[in-house]
A and B are shown apart, each in its own frame.
Chain A
Amino acid sequence: MPTLLPADPEMSRRLFLRRGAGTAMLLAAAGALPLSCTKPAGRRAPETLRFFDEGEFFVMEAVAEAMLPPREGFPTIQEVDLVERIDAKLAKLPEADTSDIHLLLWIFQYGTPLLGPAVHFFTRMSADGKADYLQGWQVSRLDFKRTGLQALKYLVMTFYYDDERTWKAIEYDGPWVESGWKYGRPVAGPTTETPTEPTTEAPK
């Protein structure tokens, strides 16, 4: 997927932070404020998770819901198992290339305490609050915030719209090899030797 996230074993792209004192302090803070407290009452994360822990799952789900709020005609993020599919993908990638995602979710949940006095709890914000928070990251003057938001957005959007259950709402045909050549017709270009007749059957 063109997630703009580290995926190549050869490509380690530090998402938004350099290793150093700042990262160490954030990690220490992360230990003091575990994401497990983000868990909504009465809900449990899927037991099949391989990349996210339970707390991260709910932060990621809240991010995805804020980016893709329910809308008539579109499936919900739960209906397409969005976070579970992202989890499965990230679990296949080398740890060195994805470790920053854990940190990114922690910072996203709690704000950036090293950069300001407020500690935010993203999952507990109202829908409008979450949207404002996302917008703040998207247009921030700080490069790492824009980069972090971009990373989350690419994950959410590409995995959501790659699912065929979203295609009806946007009038996308889907793969012709599965559905037959519904709209296309063979084209006789200058190099064509034998024009093919239209067919409704999928090519073999």
Chain B
Amino acid sequence: MIKTIADISGNVQERADVCIVGSGCGGATLGARLAEAGKSVVLVEEGGRVTKPDLNQREGDMYDLLYAGGGATGPDDLSCAVLYGRTLGGSSVHYMANSFRAPEWKLERWRRDFGLDWATPEKLGPYYEVAERDHSVHDATETETNENNRLFKKGVEALGWKGEPARHARKNCINAGTCLLGCPFDSKQSQRLTNIPKLDGLGGRIYSDCRADKIVVKGGRARGIRAAFADSKTGKQKGELRVESKLTVIAAGGVGTPVLLLRNGLANSSGLVGRNFQITPHFFTMGVFPKKIYGYRGLPCSYVLHQFEQVRGDEGGYMIQGIFAQPAMSAAMMPGFGEEHRSFMELYARSAALLSLIDDEEPGRVSLRDDGRVKLEYRLRGRDIPKARDFFKKSVAILLAAGAERVFVPAAEPVFIENEGEIGKVDDLSFEPNRIPYVGTSNLGTCRMGTDPERSVTDPYGRVHDVERLFICDASLFPSSTAVDPSLTIMANALRIGDWIEEYWERL
């Protein structure tokens, strides 16, 4: 049963084994897993439910429909956009569908620094396999590789570096290329098409347009939620949902989960709720080629370079992947204005782009303002600046090696580079706010897990230290970035937590 605001005519009372807040890779996966184990599940999602006809591939409409804040969320100084989903299926509806396992070196740090003994390729492997199978994850094929990514590969190989096909979650893809605006062809395997229908088929009760406000706690034990039915487009409220449940799970993402906990004054004895906010910053490098590329056609990313994921000396700390965006997003990122900007846009069809995923270590914070509204703080600084600078150097070199006539860093004062001898210009880039545009899409770390209650919000199974029967199940649990897109690891971790809950159900 999936109910939207149109199906609601008044207050609703539910009773279930498990109540889950949030329908993205964490919440939907755990919901389906527990329903499979025979538990009754209620899942609530603040965003609306979209169907194929809603996904019209138009930027303005889709940012409003799929992204929190219409894609306009970020820190006060507007130095970056912090993007995340607000729709049934969460960020997976607009994600790029890149599906990588967390690298072993990253898991080793989680074990070493946070006591997460489960973080090994062997222990996570079976869960990854299930998530990969359920989402048709495979290496991008040649026919799934567009010209933008072919040039990326050509440049990497010309430099003697070693890239590889991107692993991604699609089937029967027709190369429409508007993945970041949702897939109207049902090719991209988002939660909208996988675990939510699965949960529905197993008897789960799913409510969209339903904003959780209150986590009900009595006697130190979570006992369910209270939520408002509110039209995700207009905000108009229609009634209240009360859920009584044995377990309550918050899976509202790296921003939504700490916000809900902070508003309820829960789980924060460590003072870490909302801290350690990481976004895996995405910077862009553009190259102009002599021929038409039409980079917006086809999979945005079918080729990746993991070689520089780890910091080694003055190098690394990021991965590089292909990317391209539709005109409005591209225009916002292009440098300058006036004739200069027009000229860049005239070269849109001849431009290629590369994207960074910075393994950021200098955290920001998610907190509440005095009036209760959300405040995001994030600034690229410290150890992360050399990583971004090195990304620009490497990505410029790749585009030049691929045959770009000219490469540029889209900064307020753009850096133009026409040959390898000019790559040193990148050293002059300033990373002050609003000098270089960037975006964060992998928001995590704000309720990190660990064995020490003074250094973590939950235990290694997502159980909140301070409140019995309250779990967290999303990327906010991760102690740090996964160095790659975290979606697959969120799902694998949700399956792992689901296994544990099933095994220990009677003792919870």
Contact = CB atoms under 8 A, between A and B. Distances in A.
B349 A170 contact: yes
A184 B437 CA distance: 31
A11 B374 contact: yes
B76 A190 contact: no
Interface in A1-22: 1-16
Nearest to B335: A138
Interface string B159-174: 0000000000011111
Scoring B73, B326, B328, B434 by chain A CB atoms within 10 A of each residue's CB, the highest score goes to B434
B59 interface: yes
Nearest to B374: A10
Interface in A175-204: 175-178, 181, 183-196, 203
Interface string A159-172: 11110001101111
Interface residues of B, number: 78
Nearest to B68: A8
A76 B412 CA distance: 24
A72 to B, nearest CB: 10
Contacts of B74: 4, 13
Contacts of A11: 69, 72-73, 373-374, 376
Interface stretch (B272-280, B338-346, B384-392): B338-346
Contacts of B144: 187, 189
Contacts of A153: 332, 337
A64 to B, nearest CB: 10
Contacts of A178: 56-57
A189 B342 CA distance: 38
B77 interface: yes
A146 B71 contact: no
A29 interface: no
B269 interface: no
B2 interface: no
B57 to A, nearest CB: 4
A150 B337 CA distance: 11
Contacts of B184: 177, 203
B346 to A, nearest CB: 7
Contact of A192 (B81, B139, B171, B185): B171
Range of interface residues on A (Cβ < 8 Å): 35 or more
B60 A162 contact: yes
Interface string A49-79: 0000000000000000011110100100000
Interface string B70-104: 11111111110101000000000000000000000
B73 A184 contact: no
Interface string B344-367: 011011000000000000000000
A121 interface: no
B235 A9 contact: yes
A76 to B, nearest CB: 12
Contacts of B336: 138
A1 B176 CA distance: 20
A88 B172 CA distance: 39
B438 to A, nearest CB: 11
A157 B72 contact: no
Interface in B315-330: 326-330
B327 A161 contact: yes
Interface stretch (B11-19, B290-298, B304-312): B290-298
Nearest to A181: B174
Interface of B: 55-60, 63-64, 67-79, 81, 83, 136, 138-139, 141, 143-144, 170-178, 184-185, 235, 259, 292, 294, 296-298, 326-332, 334, 336-339, 341-342, 345-346, 348-349, 369, 371, 373-376, 412-413, 432-435, 437
Given A67-B337, A177-B56, A193-B171, 11 more contacts: A1-B64, A1-B328, A146-B432, A147-B434, A158-B59, A162-B327, A170-B346, A171-B348, A172-B326, A184-B297, A188-B143
